[in-house]
Amino acid sequence: MKNMQNKKSIRKRILYAFLTLIILTLGYFSLYEPNYGGLIKKQDKVLVFAHRGFGNLAPDNSLVAAKLAMQSNMDGVDVDGQFSADNEVVVFHDLSVDRLTNGTGKVSSKTIAELLKLDLATKYGKGFENAYVATLDDFAREITPSGILMVELKVPSSKDTGIEKRAAEIIKKYNAYENVYLSSFNPLVLYRLKKIDPRIRTVFIFMDTNWNPELIAEIKKEDLVNLPWFLRNETIRRVIRNIVKPDALSVNNEVDEETIDALIKKGYPIFLWTIDEESRLEWALNKKPYGIISDEPIITKKLRDGKE
């Protein structure tokens, strides 16, 4: 009987010790953040990225738009990637094709062959008849020789879909480690990418919200699927950064300014998004982030070059 009680007592002590260790570790990670030590080196100038490829001048997330950005001497383009039904990474923003094409249905339910038949120019206007849904492979081949390709991998769950493995294969195929940045709101995506290939440059995307229940209630259902509200808390994000160790951060420009300043001071390469108004662009440029993602990249570039 005494032996049984002793064993139970030992198990309890081990459990308490384990829980204490977890609490102390999380507490340490939530309070302490080391200086940046990732793959991306500091630039002399703020880089300008065209949002959604150059989505304000050409069809959203199209290769035509991205090429236009490169012809306009942008430093890079920011696009979105998701998995097709036949496990290929396609560059497309919405989860469904309804808004941006002449088709209907989810991107994930269509094969590459089916997606290629869709017309990206239908709802945009004349002059872009050659715009089609392209793959990450297409973008890596066409864009990375002349600029940086930032791709947000849209994975709205914890499930390992295999998109990280396929994206890593494409980067390796073109030896595009320096010119492809893979970003995500989902920290598990970034963790898996580094496990697959530590040379891949990862970017953790985040934005803020208030703990106020009324504000949380206003967040759209689909937004909650893509971005759990608890990831909007800086203390939790600090823990995630310590564990996942992203190479850069893509920060919504409405995030608390003290947080932005602190992260820049720590040496993190910060991308601020999505900034379009001239006064706000001036504010962002004065912060000297690593890059700015904008729907108005031409204006952004002019303002930046005027400060040099």
pLDDT of 168 strictly over 90: yes
pLDDT at 207: 87
Average of per-residue pLDDT across 178-204 = 96
pLDDT of 225 strictly over 70: no
**Alpha carbons 154 and 71: distance in angstroms, whole number:** 27
Tell which residue, 68, 102, 142, has the closest CA to residue 298: 68
Average of per-residue pLDDT across 229-250 = 87
User: What is the average pLDDT value for the chain, to the nearest integer?
Assistant: 86
pLDDT tens-digit map of 101-159 = 999 999 999 999 999 999 888 777 677 877 899 999 999 999 999 999 999 999 888 88
Q: Is 20 helix (H, G, I), strand (E, B) or coil?
A: helix
Q: What is the CATH number of domain 33-95+133-307?
A: 3.20.20.190
pLDDT tens-digit map of 192-202 = 999 999 999 99
What does the DSSP 8-state code read for residue 206? E
pLDDT at 44: 86
Helices 187-196 and 163-173: angle between axes, nearest 10 degrees: 50
pLDDT tens-digit map of 70-113 = 999 999 999 999 999 999 999 999 999 999 999 999 999 999 99
Average of per-residue pLDDT across 219-223 = 49
Percentage above 70 pLDDT, the chain: 80
Which region among 10-24, 45-59, 146-160, 227-241 has the lowest average model confidence (pLDDT)?
Answer: 10-24
**Alpha carbons 16 and 38: distance in angstroms, whole number:** 35
Residue 208's pLDDT band, with cuts at 50, 70 and 90, is: confident
Strands (E), the chain: 47-51, 76-83, 89-91, 148-153, 180-184, 201-206, 248-252, 270-273, 291-294
Distance of alpha carbon 287 from the chain centroid: 20
Q: What is the pTM of this model?
A: 0.85
Domain ranges of the chain: 33-95+133-307
pLDDT at 21: 47
